[in-house]
Homo-oligomer: A and B are copies of this chain.
Amino acid sequence: MKLHILGCHAATPSMKGNPTSQVLEIRDHIFLIDCGEGTQVQLRKHKVKFSRINHIFISHLHGDHFFGLPGLISTFQLLGREKELHIYGPEGIKEVILLLLRVGNSWTGYQLVFHELKETIPEMIFEDEKVKVSTIPLKHRVYTNGFLYEEKKKERGLNMEAVAKYKIDKAYFKNIKKGKDGLSASGEKVVNLDLTFDPPAPKSYAYCSDTAYDESKIDFIAGADLLYHEATFLSTEASLAQKTGHSTASEAARIARKAGVKKLILGHFSTRYKDKDLFLKEAIIQFPDTEMAEDGKVFEI
């Protein structure tokens, strides 16, 4: 699993930083998470193949999280896209995109599939044989969801030495990988544990931006391998954070600690702070395994 930070700054795009957008590579999928203005240029800069993006997840309808989406949809059209594009986001996103296409008389040649969200409890919004994605309801000024991306458990790994030793026919391999016992050439039963290895533990990534400090999400993200949590402010601006539905670095770290995640990434920094190290200093007191997001940075899990 690989997370590319395309933009991690709050509010307005500037020469120094891009608004929110990320790409998550997870089991053959390239998921785009949020899409602030300038995202398509960031995608090019960081050499993400446009054509591999089939699913876009929008947390909420504030401009710094989705004003890059109309342009990206137009660019897909110019590139001759034919595959359908799935867009997950708050109710209203379909009306916006369709209106923009209509006023420009610029209908897409590929199908746009909208998955409009309005639940205030977690729901699974995507699933295939390898991955599932669920919402994490967040507490912000408008209806907002974070997203939990989970790998599914892989099949058990075949122990080729053991299989050879017991002379097990290939015809059984498929079931053995699923956990069934094997049958040796001599007709003896061989227990699955003697023929297989444990598969690698499935990984998970929780994306929480934008959100006020809110313990009700802790259960949904408990034990995640990686948590990206917004930290718009420092503790000195705690009351401003509360007023605007954002978090401080310290609050983000407290959520990470209480949820027992393995690693925390801070992002969505307000431009008011010149010294970004202050975010890290504030967070590691609560949760040592914290890193700072940075436009262009890649995290491997």
Contact = CB atoms under 8 A, between A and B. Distances in A.
Interface of A: 11-15, 37-38, 40-41, 44-45, 60-64, 67-68, 70-71, 74-75, 78, 90, 92-93, 95-96, 99-100, 102-106, 141-142
A92 B96 CA distance: 12
24 contacts: A11-B78, A12-B40, A12-B78, A14-B41, A15-B44, A15-B45, A37-B38, A37-B71, A38-B38, A38-B41, A61-B103, A62-B104, A62-B106, A63-B70, A63-B71, A63-B104, A63-B106, A64-B74, A67-B70, A67-B74, A90-B103, A92-B102, A95-B103, A105-B141
A61 B105 CA distance: 9
Chain B CB within 10 A, most for which of A63, A70, A75, A105: A63
Contacts of A90: 103
B100 A63 contact: yes
Q: How many copies does the complex hold?
A: 2
A142 B63 contact: no
B105 A96 contact: no
Contacts of A15: 41, 44-45
A44 B96 contact: no
A72 to B, nearest CB: 9
A44 B13 CA distance: 10
Contacts of A68: 37
Contact of A67 (B12, B61, B71, B92): B71
A77 to B, nearest CB: 10
A37 B13 CA distance: 11
A284 B62 CA distance: 47
Contacts of A75: 11-12
